[in-house]
Structure 1
Amino acid sequence: MAEDVSLDNWEQKSKDHTKQYKNFLQRADKNKVLKALPDLHEQAFKKIDCLNCAACCKNYSPRFKTTDIKRISKHLKLRESVFIDTYLNLDSDGDYVVKSSPCPFLGSDNYCSIYEQRPSDCHRFPYTDEDVLLKRPAITLKNATFCPAVYFVLEKLMP
């Protein structure tokens, strides 16, 4: 595993390493990676403050599952149908996603106005502490293009 990872010019480095990441994710020792992830996730978020970035909230949408819609609608004191009509669309996979980018709940200060009620996808993102990193390599590779934490963890995992 890599010793230290610099976040200088990380976007370009991540782009340059995409092929290596893909090969690594295909061949990785699952048990070894899963054992390392919690510590690497923690290290990443000691170096990275999401409030300085919020690229995920600015460019992509989480899936809003039924439980998320119920919880957030209640929090916003809206009927579920009104919440859906106001904020969500169905995507090509049949998932509810936000109608616009950036996310309508993202403030100019990069704080989320529904943070405590946010969708489970937001809560779990960027999946650097769970098996999604290996199970869904296409998502991991996409996330590495805009999330410095994914870049950091992948770099640390690389032999």
Structure 2
Amino acid sequence: MADFLNSNWQKRSADHQKQYKQWLQRADKNKVLKQLPDAHEAAFENVNCLNCAACCKNYSPRFKTPDIKRISKHLKLKESVFIDTYLKLDEEGDYVVKSTPCSFLGADNYCTIYDVRPSDCERFPYTDEDVLLKRPNITLKNSTFCPIVVFVLEKLSKAPNP
């Protein structure tokens, strides 16, 4: 899996959604959580996010109050100006970016506010925490556009139980 981004992972993900869903439903949580750190590390060794950035190009994190405070301070903007300039409320009442790709994504796929990015961005793609199993619908959605999630699901779903 040396060059995972060039490995037709999108087709594999599309073809394996049913298998991923079944695996997420029956996976032994304790065993998977023990395997997760190694799978997560291996994924990031095989996929360079800067060559992809599909998350930043197509989706938005939630901007929670602490995120808004931290980012607006960093940008030297009043919180209300930051919100009016960059954010909108979605159907669930969360602040998200007004448009995609994210306004803070540079042409080189680097985040211009990386050090103060929203906590959702910092945690994404949740492949090193129990969200992977606790929120299978999120995991499945993320597997449609994030090669890291596909890598981890493939690795864990094929891993023998220790």
- TM bin (shorter chain): over 0.9
> Secondary structure of the equivalent of 1:97?
strand
1:106-150: CA deviation from partner (whole Å, max 9, x where unpaired): 000000000000000000000000000001111100100111000
Cross-structure match for 1:72: 71
Residue 49 of structure 1 is matched in structure 2 by 48
Take 1:24 and 1:47, find their aligned partners in 2: how far apart are those partners?
23
Distance across 2 between alignment mates of 1:92 and 1:5: 40
Q: Which amino acid aligns with 1:97?
A: V
% identical aligned pairs: 76
CA contact (8 A) 2:3 2:47 kept: no
Q: Which residue of 2 aligns with 1:87?
A: 86
Aligned length in residues: 156
Matched, 1:124 2:123: yes
> Which gives a bigger RCO, structure 1 or 2 (Cα 8 Å, sep 6+)?
1
- 1:22 aligned to 2:21? yes
Give 3-state SS (helix, strand or coil) of 1:134's partner.
helix
**1:148 corresponding residue in structure 2:** 147
What RMSD, in angstroms, separates the aligned Cα atoms of the two structures? Answer: 1.1
- Matching residue of 2:135: 136
TM-score by length of 2: 0.94
Distance across 2 between alignment mates of 1:45 and 1:136: 21
Equivalent position SS for 1:56: helix
Separation of aligned partners in 1, 2:97 and 2:156: 33
Unpaired segments ≥5 residues, structure 2: none
Moved beyond 4 Å, runs of 4+: none
1:34 alignment partner in structure 2? 33
Q: TM-score, normalised by structure 1?
A: 0.96
